[in-house]
Amino acid sequence: MTPSELMQYLLFSAMLFVLGLFGALTRRNTVIVLLSIELMLNAANINLVALSRFLPGGAENARLPHPSLAGDFSATLGQTVALFTIAVAAAEVAVGLAALIAFYRLKASPNVDEMDSLKR
Amino acid sequence: MTNAIASWLPWAVVLPPLVSFLLLTALGSKIRKAAGWIGSLATLISLIFAFRALTAVSGGATLVADPLLLLSYGDVEVAFGADVSPLSAIMLVVVAGVSFLVHVYSIGYMAKDPRIAVYFQYLSLFTLAMLGLVVSTNWVELYVFWELVGAASFLLIGFDYMRPAARAAAFKAFIVTRIGDIGLFAAMILAFAQTKSLAIADTFQAVQSGALAPNVVTGLALLIFLAAVGKSGQFPLHVWLPDAMEGPTPVSALIHAATMVAAGVYLVAFTYPIFAQSPSAQFVVATIGAFTAIFAATMALVQTDIKRVLAYSTVSQLGYMMLALGAGSVGAAIFHLTTHAFFKALLFLAAGAVIHAVGTNDITVMGGLAKKMPVTAAWFVIAAAALVGLPPLAGFFSKDAVLASTVPGYPAHFTAAVLTVLLTAAYMGRVLWLVFFGEARDAGRHAAAHEAPLVMRAPMHVLGVLVLVAGAFTAPWTGPIGRVFGALGEVAHAPLWMAGLTTALGLLGLGFSFLCVRGAIPCPLGDPTRAAYRLLEERYYIDWFYERAVGGAAALFGRFAEAVDRLVIDGLWRGIADALIVSGERADAAGGGQIQRYNAVALFALVVMLVVFALSMKGV
């Protein structure tokens, strides 16, 4: 993977993030909003995994025009952080869905724009 | 005179009233009975030291006490010093003497007042302020004591603060004299700006050496005179003095004889080196003085309150003193101030005894009191004769000295002053005949009248003797007293024709008022419905003008300023505050609990911050 190929990953990640952001800001259904947030988290995961290959000690580090040799990062650092993110995302979805179910029982609606009890 | 005595003697005159003031402030009501004696003793000590100072300076020397350095700022020093010149020595003796007698008299007069300790506390403060004023060497020191005199008189005039009239009179006195005080303050600033020194001696030196421009000297003199006009009740700031009669009668005696009103005359006499360099300022002083003399005398003609008649006569006599100062004779002015202090204090103390006896101030309900109170009546008659200027009493000599001083150069002023003699005789005669002679008009009051107790009679005896002999004070054979008056400059002696003229006019006025009161001849001012009577009764509508026109205009301007403050200045800040509150509420309502809108705003803000960051990093 060359640095120019890396750009494809980054662009893909950016598109995914913007799609997620758009969905999180515009959709009324809370389930869709939660899904969109997942999209944004995963866009970040792709960034992490792609970039980690270019860290010192990573597989593609030597391909850089000016390879950095300082430090001794493991090639798997980005992947580890991505795993953490997936775990956090799972927990977040679990809490989010539980809150949604509680909310649904209260208001009989899944819509995020009706979640304004603290202001009313 | 050795320096050792000079260094402490002036302070020994000034400080006893301070001690008694502090003592009475601290002990207050615990020593009700002793309060009067403490105050009297303190002023007696002052009086003894004042006599010692008088003999020390009778040769014309000046005692210079060690100053208390209070402030030093760069090159500017504000030192509270104490100098006793022949002029201030006379003032010290007069002030301490009259104050002592008033203290003793007050022990009897105020005996039944529950706030007697507070009364003597104020009286001590008043005496302290006046003595301090007289020995001042520094503009700041002078101003401090000047204001203390005003503050103490405010407290004493409003002593009976439960009565609205007394409160109003105290306010009036304070506000009107405050107009004059602005003059003294401005004079102090002007003197400092010109000489870079606050010592009065430096100002005199600059004036005499010609270092100051003539216009500056005239301005300085007129500003000082404005202060004197306020304190000494000269036209057009005379309105407070008759109202000051609301205070206890001994206070009136003190204010009118020795302290408050004498302060203005003393100030002009003290700063005479400045006036001497400005003929136009002298002319203003003489003109205001002569006008006030005759103007106040006319108002005294129709008053029915015995103290108000005396108050207007004080204004009139102060006009004489100013006239003498304007005419260039400090000696005549201070001579008249001294004799006036004696006979006016005696008049007020005798009037106080009368008021004490009959319980009213209204002369139209008195009458025939000479039989009931022969001692008081005798002293009142003698003091009145001195005020009119009949020989051989004190007022005769001092008044003729004032008149004689105006002969060179001031013919119009002389005429006004001579006419005032006739008016003075007429209004004093009216009081005499109405109060002490003729039939009793109120049988009940007349029956209850009695002679005052000894503690009130004794000060009257002392003052009475002084009224009899003070006319000789300028004569060389009186020893130190004569020498100290001589040090003020030559006092003009009236020629025989002038003495005859004033005596004749005085007798004419007394006789005329006698016939008027008896109803033998129709009085020009006997009819209260006549326009002239109304005009005098309403005091030329000057008080009315001040209250309605000046006070009204001030109130109107106050309302205007209040409206500007409320609408424009407050409005501006309220507008800004309201705009912030409204915009906050709008922003708050824009969210409305919608999490997605919050996020959108946060995103937008992030974008803005990134753009700003990117733009600001561009040059790096």
Rounded CA separation B13/B83 (Å): 11
Mean pLDDT of the region B515-521: 75
Q: Which residue in A24, A33, A120 is closest to B593 by CB distance?
A: A120
The answer to whether A22 contacts chain B (CB < 8 Å) is: no
pLDDT tens digit sequence for B225-284: 999 998 888 888 888 888 888 888 888 888 887 778 888 899 998 888 888 888 888 899
Q: How confident is the model at residue B105 (pLDDT cuts 50, 70, 90)?
A: confident
More reliable by pLDDT, A47 or B472: A47
A117 interaction partners in chain B (CB closer than 8 Å): 593
pLDDT tens digit sequence for B544-601: 777 788 888 888 999 999 999 988 889 999 999 999 999 988 877 776 778 888 888 8
Dihedral of the alpha carbons of B492, B497, B501, B503, in degrees to the nearest 10: 70
Helix (H, G, I), strand (E, B) or coil at A119: coil
Q: Which residue in B591, B593, B600 is closest to A25 by CB distance?
A: B600
Name the residue type at position B63.
L
Rounded CA separation B479/B58 (Å): 9
Alpha carbon B337 to its chain's center = 13
Measuring CA to CA, which residue among B185, B182, B129, B187 is closest to residue B154? B129
* Residue in A closest to B590 by C-alpha: A119
Rounded CA separation B225/B256 (Å): 19
Q: Tell which phi-psi region holds residue B506, choosing left (phi > 0), alpha (psi between -120 and 50) or beta.
A: alpha
Mean pLDDT of the region B528-542: 73
Mean pLDDT of the region B173-179: 87
Residue B430 contacts residue B301 (beta carbons within 8 Å): yes
Name the least confident of A51-60, B171-180, B362-371. Answer: A51-60
Q: How confident is the model at residue B114 (pLDDT cuts 50, 70, 90)?
A: confident
Give which of A116, A117, A118 to mutate to test B binding, by max B Cβ within 10 Å: A116
Name the average pLDDT for chain B: 84
Measuring CA to CA, which residue among B351, B356, B459, B463 is closest to residue B105? B459
Burial B460-482 (b: 16+ CB within 10 A, else e): bebbbebbbebbebbeeeeeebb
- Cβ within 8 Å of residue B442, ≥6 positions away: B358, B365, B366, B367
Rg of the Cα trace of chain B? Answer: 30
Element spanning B600, H or E:
helix B595-617
pLDDT at B3 over 60: no
The answer to whether A99 contacts chain B (CB < 8 Å) is: no
Rounded CA separation B135/B141 (Å): 9
pLDDT beneath 70: ranges in chain A: 1, 56-58, 67-75, 120
Dihedral of the alpha carbons of B296, B301, B304, B309, in degrees to the nearest 10: 40
Distance from CA of A25 to the nearest CA of B (A): 5
More reliable by pLDDT, A46 or B535: A46
The reply to whether residue A26 touches residue B596, judged by beta carbons under 8 angstroms, is: yes
Structure tokens at B5: 């005595």
Mean pLDDT of the region B110-122: 84
Distance from CA of B605 to the nearest CA of A (A): 15
- The neighbouring-strand residues paired with B68 are B80
Distance from CA of A44 to the nearest CA of B (A): 17
Q: Which residue in B596, B600, B603 is closest to A113 by CB distance?
A: B596
The reply to whether residue B593 touches residue A26, judged by beta carbons under 8 angstroms, is: no
Distance from CA of A116 to the nearest CA of B (A): 5
Tell me which residue has tokens 């408050």. B260
pLDDT at B457 over 80: yes
State the pLDDT at residue B509: 84
State the pLDDT at residue A70: 61
State the pLDDT at residue A44: 93
With 0.95 as the threshold, say if the pTM is over it.
no
Measuring CA to CA, which residue among B366, B157, B146 is closest to residue B268? B146
State the pLDDT at residue A63: 73
So what's the ipTM on this one? 0.80
State the pLDDT at residue A57: 67
Other Cβ atoms closer than 10 A to B518:
11
Rounded CA separation B83/B11 (Å): 9
Q: How confident is the model at residue B110 (pLDDT cuts 50, 70, 90)?
A: confident
pLDDT at B189 over 70: yes
The answer to whether A93 contacts chain B (CB < 8 Å) is: no
Share of residues in chain B with pLDDT > 70 (%): 96
pLDDT tens digit sequence for B303-359: 888 888 888 888 888 888 898 888 888 888 888 888 888 888 888 888 888 888 887
Rounded CA separation A56/B187 (Å): 87
State the pLDDT at residue B575: 92
| Helix residue ranges per DSSP H, B359-410 | 369-372, 374-388, 394-406
* Residue in A closest to B602 by C-alpha: A25
State the pLDDT at residue B543: 77
State the pLDDT at residue B1: 44
Q: DSSP characters for B60-108?
A: S--EEPPPEEEEEETTEEEEE--EE-HHHHHHHHHHHHHHHHHHHHHHH
**All domains of chain A in start order, with CATH:** 3-114 (1.10.287.3510)
Dihedral of the alpha carbons of B474, B475, B478, B484, in degrees to the nearest 10: 40
